[in-house]
């Protein structure tokens, strides 16, 4: 007897959406790991390739530290450590000690002061009277020219971070004025070889000067949505501060190693210069304009991450925009470039690595102090 065949509908197994999501997540994680490993590996090769060697000069330097403590003490550390690799002897002191007496005892080839604001002019004059060369490396030009105008003429050599200050000091009678920005102290600022414990899309480290608050405020919400983290003092000035208090570490001066770890753990670091016109913090009554990049420019570049920096006239002397560094001129342009580089890993990585290479080959403290000695000693 024939049985009647019953027609049944085909049964479809529903897709495992969870497995699909896991596969996509795994692929993204593998790609992120590859990108991170590639960046770290390439950075390591660059660092090892550019271990510059400079002549050891048979000179003795009496170094007068800033005497101001933090945040100047890391600069003192960078200069002292570098001097010890380039000279026969370094004698250390600070502006609160009898500098001229020490110079008379040790008879150095050079007395070098960092900042110089707390070193009495009488001490410098007494050193020069002994026939000992004196030099000052000014740390904050052009923001304190009301003060430096009085101290710079007392030195044989003046080294300034700001290009526009050269003619300023020459006009007040300084015979030997030279442009010498700080560089990267690579004991502090260098790419980490392993993944940083701090992971950020975007970082900003620095004080909330009013020009920074006013520039970032229109786009702060968009930047926060894209993963911005901020560290520094005064950020409660930001009108939107309360909304993002969990993303802003307020009231803390970060040390260089902690700062470098944040740089290395960030895909993008924003650099926004302070204004030369901010009378609330500056002593720059003549409003001398700033055209030179700040020290953070070199420190961020040395950390192996992409830097977005506001345009300054003399920036291209040090890094080629669009090749080794990326610039912006408006809040909207900054936001557009953040969006581009967060979604174009290869382009982000290539610029970061080229900046790292340029820094290690040209812009370390050893490069700068060797240049200083070439000026002074030939």
Residue range(s) of every CATH 3.40.50.11930 domain in the chain: 57-183+365-377
Q: What pLDDT, in 10s, does the model give residues 276-311? A: 999 999 999 999 999 999 999 999 999 999 999 999
Asked if CATH classification 1.10.645.10 holds for the domain at 200-362, the reply, yes or no, is no
User: What is the average pLDDT score of the chain?
Assistant: 92
pLDDT at 181: 98
Q: Is the pLDDT assigned to residue 29 strictly greater than 60? A: no
pLDDT at 36: 73
pLDDT at 65: 98
pLDDT at 32: 61
Q: Is the pLDDT assigned to residue 98 strictly greater than 90? A: yes
Q: What pLDDT, in 10s, does the model give residues 52-68? A: 789 999 999 999 999 99
Q: Which CATH architecture has domain 57-183+365-377?
A: 3-Layer(aba) Sandwich (3.40)
Two structure tokens written together for 145? 């020219």
Q: Is the pLDDT assigned to residue 30 strictly greater than 60? A: no
Q: What pLDDT, in 10s, does the model give residues 244-283? A: 999 999 988 899 999 999 999 999 999 999 999 999 999 9
Residue range(s) of every CATH 3.40.50.2000 domain in the chain: 200-362
pTM of this structure = 0.89
């Amino acid at each position: 007897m024939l049985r009647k065949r019953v027609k049944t509908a085909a049964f479809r197994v529903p897709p495992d959406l969870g497995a699909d999501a896991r596969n996509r997540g795994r692929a993204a994680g593998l790609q992120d790991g590859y990108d991170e490993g590639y960046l770290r590996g390439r950075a390591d090769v660059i660092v090892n390739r550019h271990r510059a060697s400079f002549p050891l000069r048979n000179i003795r330097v009496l170094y007068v530290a800033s005497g101001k403590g933090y945040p100047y003490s890391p600069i003192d550390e960078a200069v002292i450590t570098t001097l010890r690799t380039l000279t026969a002897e370094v004698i250390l002191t600070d502006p609160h000690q009898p500098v001229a007496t020490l110079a008379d005892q040790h008879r150095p080839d050079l007395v070098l002061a960092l900042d110089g604001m707390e070193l009495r002019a009488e001490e410098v004059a007494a050193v020069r009277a002994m026939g000992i060369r004196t030099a000052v490396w000014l740390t904050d030009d052009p923001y304190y020219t009301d003060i430096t105008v009085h101290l710079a003429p007392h030195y044989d050599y003046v080294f300034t971070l700001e290009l526009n200050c050269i003619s300023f000091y020459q006009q007040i009678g300084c015979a030997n004025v030279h442009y010498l920005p700080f560089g990267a102290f690579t004991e502090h600022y260098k790419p980490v070889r392993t993944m940083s414990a701090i992971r950020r899309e975007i970082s900003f480290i620095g004080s909330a000067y009013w020009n920074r608050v006013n520039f970032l405020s229109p786009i702060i919400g968009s930047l926060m949505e894209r993963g911005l983290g901020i560290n520094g003092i005064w950020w409660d000035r930001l009108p939107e501060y309360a909304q993002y208090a969990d993303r802003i570490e307020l009231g803390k001066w970060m040390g260089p190693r902690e700062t470098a770890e944040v740089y290395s753990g960030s895909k993008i670091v924003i650099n926004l210069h302070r204004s030369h016109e901010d009378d609330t913090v500056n002593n720059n009554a003549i409003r001398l304009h700033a055209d030179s990049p700040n020290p953070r420019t070199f420190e961020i570049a040395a950390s192996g991450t992409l830097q977005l920096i506001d345009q300054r006239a003399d920036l291209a002397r040090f890094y080629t925009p669009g090749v080794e560094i990326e610039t912006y001129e408006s809040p909207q342009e900054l936001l557009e470039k953040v969006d581009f580089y967060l979604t174009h890993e290869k382009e982000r990585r290539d610029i970061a690595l080229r900046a790292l290479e340029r820094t290690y080959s040209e812009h370390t403290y050893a490069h700068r102090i060797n240049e200083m000695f070439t000026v002074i000693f030939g």
